[in-house]
A and B are shown apart, each in its own frame.
Chain A
Amino acid sequence: MMNKARVLIGMILLLPVLAAGLVACTDEEPVRVDLSKREALVAPRQVDAITYAYLPQYSHTISYQRHRRMLEYLRQTTGLPLRQIFPDTFDEHIKMVERGEIDISYSNPFVYVRLAKAGAQAFARVIEPSGEPNFRGQIITRSDNAEIRDIADCRGKRWVAVDPDSAGGYLFPLGLFFDNGIQVEDFETVDFAPGPGGKQEKVVLSVYAGVYDIGTIRKGTLDVVGGKIDLGAIRVLAETRAYPGWVYSARKGLDPEVVEAISKAMFALDHENEAHKLILSAAGIRGVIPAKDIDYGPVRELAEKLGLDR
């Protein structure tokens, strides 16, 4: 019995040694720092630059991804200090143009119509990936929604749209409904995609989730969300007529030389050129062509028809 007790005591005495061994296992060589040595940091003054903004129809990340190469190209080609900025909402974008905070604005035609009122001048428009300089809006519903077969069935339904200022995502389809005798009041609800950025995708996802019966989006959005949802579950109910596509406009008062240099560089982009193709593909366009304010007459007509002409 004495031997057993001795063994037991010996093993218990060994425990701290084992524990110390466990602690020792975690040892690494640390770098010495003194967190008490502090300083107040001041941001370096930002270099003056020509600001470039993309109407936030998508999230900032996508906006950045789409136009980063374009800006890089423009900086290199024109030698101008260009900087992309990211307004959170359509309204903010418009107001920033009005305040002169955005020098070059890339916006949809409806927004442009409003920007034009603030003195902005269109100087370039894009050719859609389809090859046309115009684009359309789409009305979508769930594939398994048997109640909605045509536009007339949309009456009394719950509708989600991108933004009150979205061209393809609201105003074009609103014109289509108007033409089919359906007013905004005829819907059970008309809601807009919440929060900043990514609004087109949010509409598709809301319909996909069944929260709304129908949704309206810019044509081409389904390609963007293809990686997120099963596109077979979404049915395109109708498409609007084609309207002039997205437009580059310069704020009122921007140096015409700058506009000239930029537009020249943009027009030089050739889809057949591999390097340019990378830039154009990232931006989701096929090319850039010259634009004039007169090109956006159909849009102004639609606005007028819908009573949006303010």
Chain B
Amino acid sequence: MSARSLVEESKKRGSALVESLAIRAVDPMLARDFLRLKNMVDEQSSVEDVAYAFVQDKTGHVMVHTFQKGFPVDLLVVNQDVADETVHIQLLADGSRRIYDFAVPVLVSDGHLGTVRIGLSQARIQQAVQHQITLMAGLFAGALILATSIGTIFARRVTARLGRLRTHAEEMLTGNLDTLSGPTSGVHCWEKQNCKITQCPAYGEVRRRCWYIAGTMCPDCNNEGNFQCRLESCRKCSVYRENAGDEIQDLAETFDVMALTLKTHIDELCDAERNLRDQQRLMRTILDVTPDRVSLIGPTMRYQGCNKSFAESVGMSLAEVEGKTDFDLFEEAEAEERHLAARDILESGARLDTQVKVQGADGDRWYHVVCIPVLNDEGRIDGLLRTDRDITDIKSYENQLIQAQKIESLGLLAGGVAHEINTPLGIILGYAQLLQEDVESGSQIHQDLAIIEKQTQVCKKIVADLLGFSRQSESAKREMCFNNSVMEAISLVRHTLELDKVSILTQLDDRFPIIYGDPEKLKQVWINLLTNARDAMSGKGGTILIRTRLDAPMGIVSLWVADNGSGIGEDVLKKIFDPFFSTKAVDKGTGLGLSVSFGIIKDHDGMIRAISPVPEDFGFPAVQGGQGGVGTVFEVNLPLDHQMGEGQESEKE
């Protein structure tokens, strides 16, 4: 375009030259003043790029020209069409150069005097064009380099900031949320507004601009609506106008806010996770320390979890239990029972609360079973929680309690009956003794009366025992020597026992422990234990070892009566203290001996128990003769503490 403009400009210049020459040539042409004409055309050729100039008269004859030797006749046949007043331009080519030929008629009024021609070399135009091109190319290249440099600098600035954002993003990916991508400069809203509202969430905040903070209390702010609504009100705020930057700064600041929010969120999640973990640990601890067997069963009847106790009971680890069914964990009968119970609960949603007896390798065990359906958020049954509490011991205590209550009831009954029978028995005994005095000694009647007296005495003894059993008899407790009580009882029965080939060995504590008790009743207990031991020999003779020991630190004194008799079976051992329980023949014993002894010892706050066979570490002496059975040991513990015994006694009285 520029080159074309240059050409056009040159054409205009040539036109002006030739027109000027045509006007000036009028007078010399009219005057046929060749010198002036010659001077005029020569003046033209002094112009730098004018190749030639010449003037033709109206017949076409060349009046003057600028050529030195001859006139190039070719010029006479080109650019001849100059009828009108306009300038005619013809591009000519002569060997190496090009020339614009300008022709214009010389007119005076409407009279045609001739033609003026000027040749303008294109070399200068070309040179100008070339110069223009070079200049433009230079300018273009310069502008390009400048633009590229500026663009590069600008792009580098932008990419540097974007790069920093990317780096921070990568750091965020690796977990570092404490990066700061946006600029830290700029005034803060509370400084700019001279704000005193310290409760405002934006007050003192340096990592976020105020417009990123919801719930600001600035009266100029729109605190409602979403971020865009709030931001709209910020655009008029001087704080925003001073601090808001370009898009990249917006991005960086949004990025920072995001990172900060994310960090806060993650911190909260971490706290929640820690809390949850603590709760889980606590729950696990609670579940594991409880002896109850706790298990959680899912809706598909598979175990979802359990506690340690449950896992141990089925011999698996906690992880192994998960996903198992009842049939994987228990024997078929028990599994069937548990499965049916669970299915009923899952179907009905009713709570199950029952006690079941389970047969195990070490005997039957009782369990208190509680099954509770677990509901999900929608209120549907999503599983069940089952707790099996081992209540075998409680069951045992329950049995003992029942037995005690039974004995107490029986004692009351027996006491009442004995008290009533005692009086007539005394009268019968008195009259029998009186009648014996009235009849002849040795007579049949006397013998009969003696039998009556004897049997009555037996009855009285039974009644007395019954009264003792029911604690109807009076107790006379006092400080007494424990060993003396034992020795008295031995001396009373030693002779009789020796008749039955039963020898008595004593290992008494030589510290002569003193207790607070009833000597007579205790003696009755010792005699009972000795006679029972003798009876355990079945008449074959044997050895009875009596041992006493004072345990001062524990405050008790203990007595052991061991024999090498036939021993007591395990099932019998539990019942030997029951009233009227006896393994003897019908007329051989009343079965009240041990139960009365039990009552007396209990009255002394003591304890009595039987162990059969005799433990090997008991130290029973190796003896010859006798049946050599497994033997039985009765152990009696009595407290040394008089005060308590006295207090309890008085309380009972």
Q: Are B109 and A34 in contact (CB under 8 A)?
A: no
Interface residues of B in 42-85 (CB under 8 A from A): 52, 59, 61-63, 65, 67, 69-75, 78-79
Q: Are B94 and A34 in contact (CB under 8 A)?
A: yes
> Given A15-B140, A38-B71, are A26 and B7 also a contact pair (CB < 8 Å)?
yes
- Closest approach, in angstroms, between the C-beta of A112 and any C-beta of chain B? 22
- Closest approach, in angstroms, between the C-beta of B9 and any C-beta of chain A? 12
Q: Are A19 and B133 in contact (CB under 8 A)?
A: yes
The residue from B26, B61, B108, B129 contacting A23, defined by CB atoms under 8 A apart? B129
Q: Are A197 and B27 in contact (CB under 8 A)?
A: yes
Q: Are A40 and B92 in contact (CB under 8 A)?
A: no
- Closest approach, in angstroms, between the C-beta of B25 and any C-beta of chain A? 11
> B119: nearest residue on chain A (CB-CB)?
A35
Residues of B within 8 A of A60 (CB): 26-27, 30-31
Q: Are B70 and A25 in contact (CB under 8 A)?
A: no
Asked if B286 is at the interface of the complex by the 8 Å CB criterion, the answer is: no
Cα distance, A259 to B90, chains bound together (Å): 49
- Closest approach, in angstroms, between the C-beta of B59 and any C-beta of chain A? 7
A-B pairs with lowest CB-CB distance, top 7: A38-B70, A30-B93, A33-B74, A60-B30, A30-B91, A35-B72, A86-B31
Q: Are B71 and A25 in contact (CB under 8 A)?
A: no
Interface residues of B in 461-508 (CB under 8 A from A): none
Asked if A37 is at the interface of the complex by the 8 Å CB criterion, the answer is: yes
The residue from A40, A59, A88, A197 contacting B71, defined by CB atoms under 8 A apart? A40
> A24: nearest residue on chain B (CB-CB)?
B3
Residues of A within 8 A of B61 (CB): 41, 43-44
Q: Are A31 and B91 in contact (CB under 8 A)?
A: yes
Q: Are A26 and B129 in contact (CB under 8 A)?
A: yes
Q: Are A34 and B72 in contact (CB under 8 A)?
A: yes
Residues of A within 8 A of B79 (CB): 31
Cα distance, A33 to B140, chains bound together (Å): 38
> B7: nearest residue on chain A (CB-CB)?
A26
Write out, one digit per residue, whether chain B residues 79-119 have a CB within 8 A of any chain A CB (1) or not (0): 10000000000111111001000000000110100000000
Asked if B586 is at the interface of the complex by the 8 Å CB criterion, the answer is: no
Cα distance, A4 to B153, chains bound together (Å): 12
Given contacts A22-B132, A35-B95, 19 further A-B contacts (CB under 8 A): A8-B145, A12-B141, A12-B144, A16-B137, A22-B129, A23-B129, A26-B3, A26-B6, A26-B7, A30-B91, A30-B93, A31-B92, A32-B92, A33-B75, A35-B52, A36-B95, A60-B27, A61-B30, A61-B108
> Given A31-B78, A59-B27, A86-B31, are A41 and B144 also a contact pair (CB < 8 Å)?
no
> Which of B31, B33, B70 is most buried by chain A, counting CB atoms within 10 A of its CB?
B31
Asked if B152 is at the interface of the complex by the 8 Å CB criterion, the answer is: yes
Write out, one digit per residue, whether chain A residues 3-20 have a CB within 8 A of any chain B CB (1) or not (0): 010011001100110110
Asked if B280 is at the interface of the complex by the 8 Å CB criterion, the answer is: no
> A15: nearest residue on chain B (CB-CB)?
B137
- Closest approach, in angstroms, between the C-beta of A46 and any C-beta of chain B? 9
- Closest approach, in angstroms, between the C-beta of B37 and any C-beta of chain A? 12
Asked if B148 is at the interface of the complex by the 8 Å CB criterion, the answer is: yes
> Given A30-B93, A40-B70, are A88 and B31 also a contact pair (CB < 8 Å)?
yes
Q: Are A39 and B75 in contact (CB under 8 A)?
A: no
Can you give 10 A-B contacts (C-beta < 8 A)? A15-B140, A19-B136, A23-B133, A25-B1, A30-B91, A31-B79, A33-B72, A35-B72, A61-B26, A68-B109
Q: Are A22 and B148 in contact (CB under 8 A)?
A: no
Residues of B within 8 A of A63 (CB): 30
- Closest approach, in angstroms, between the C-beta of A199 and any C-beta of chain B? 14
Residues of B within 8 A of A31 (CB): 78-79, 90-93
**Contact count band on B:** 35 or more
Q: Are A64 and B141 in contact (CB under 8 A)?
A: no
Asked if B199 is at the interface of the complex by the 8 Å CB criterion, the answer is: no
> Given A35-B75, A61-B108, are A22 and B3 also a contact pair (CB < 8 Å)?
yes
Q: Are A22 and B2 in contact (CB under 8 A)?
A: yes
Asked if A76 is at the interface of the complex by the 8 Å CB criterion, the answer is: no
Residues of A within 8 A of B52 (CB): 35
> A5: nearest residue on chain B (CB-CB)?
B148
> Given A23-B133, A36-B72, A88-B31, are A8 and B148 also a contact pair (CB < 8 Å)?
yes
Interface residues of A in 80-96 (CB under 8 A from B): 84-88
Q: Are B69 and A38 in contact (CB under 8 A)?
A: yes
Asked if A185 is at the interface of the complex by the 8 Å CB criterion, the answer is: no
Residues of B within 8 A of A48 (CB): none
Q: Are A34 and B74 in contact (CB under 8 A)?
A: yes
Q: Are B30 and A30 in contact (CB under 8 A)?
A: no
- Closest approach, in angstroms, between the C-beta of B556 and any C-beta of chain A? 100
- Closest approach, in angstroms, between the C-beta of B542 and any C-beta of chain A? 115
Cα distance, A207 to B225, chains bound together (Å): 91
> A30: nearest residue on chain B (CB-CB)?
B93
> B78: nearest residue on chain A (CB-CB)?
A31
> Given A8-B144, A25-B3, are A39 and B70 also a contact pair (CB < 8 Å)?
yes
Residues of A within 8 A of B109 (CB): 65, 68
Q: Are A33 and B94 in contact (CB under 8 A)?
A: yes
- Closest approach, in angstroms, between the C-beta of B301 and any C-beta of chain A? 67
- Closest approach, in angstroms, between the C-beta of A75 and any C-beta of chain B? 14
Residues of B within 8 A of A150 (CB): none
- Closest approach, in angstroms, between the C-beta of B242 and any C-beta of chain A? 35
Asked if A144 is at the interface of the complex by the 8 Å CB criterion, the answer is: no
Cα distance, A4 to B156, chains bound together (Å): 12
Cα distance, A219 to B31, chains bound together (Å): 26
Interface residues of B in 381-409 (CB under 8 A from A): none
Cα distance, A309 to B132, chains bound together (Å): 71
Asked if B196 is at the interface of the complex by the 8 Å CB criterion, the answer is: no
Asked if A29 is at the interface of the complex by the 8 Å CB criterion, the answer is: yes
Residues of B within 8 A of A35 (CB): 52, 72, 74-75, 94-95
Cα distance, A26 to B26, chains bound together (Å): 34
Asked if A28 is at the interface of the complex by the 8 Å CB criterion, the answer is: yes
Cα distance, A36 to B70, chains bound together (Å): 9
Q: Are A23 and B3 in contact (CB under 8 A)?
A: yes
Asked if B4 is at the interface of the complex by the 8 Å CB criterion, the answer is: yes
Interface residues of A in 147-175 (CB under 8 A from B): none
- Closest approach, in angstroms, between the C-beta of B33 and any C-beta of chain A? 8
Cα distance, A19 to B2, chains bound together (Å): 11
The residue from B59, B98, B145 contacting A30, defined by CB atoms under 8 A apart? B98
Residues of A within 8 A of B70 (CB): 38-41
> Which of B1, B67, B109 is most buried by chain A, counting CB atoms within 10 A of its CB?
B109
Residues of B within 8 A of A34 (CB): 72, 74, 94-95
> Given A38-B69, A44-B61, are A28 and B91 also a contact pair (CB < 8 Å)?
yes
Q: Are A29 and B72 in contact (CB under 8 A)?
A: no
Residues of B within 8 A of A68 (CB): 108-109, 111
Cα distance, A246 to B532, chains bound together (Å): 202
Q: Are B73 and A37 in contact (CB under 8 A)?
A: yes
> Which of B27, B70, B108 is most buried by chain A, counting CB atoms within 10 A of its CB?
B27
Cα distance, A37 to B67, chains bound together (Å): 12
Cα distance, A44 to B63, chains bound together (Å): 11
- Closest approach, in angstroms, between the C-beta of B97 and any C-beta of chain A? 9
Cα distance, A19 to B126, chains bound together (Å): 12
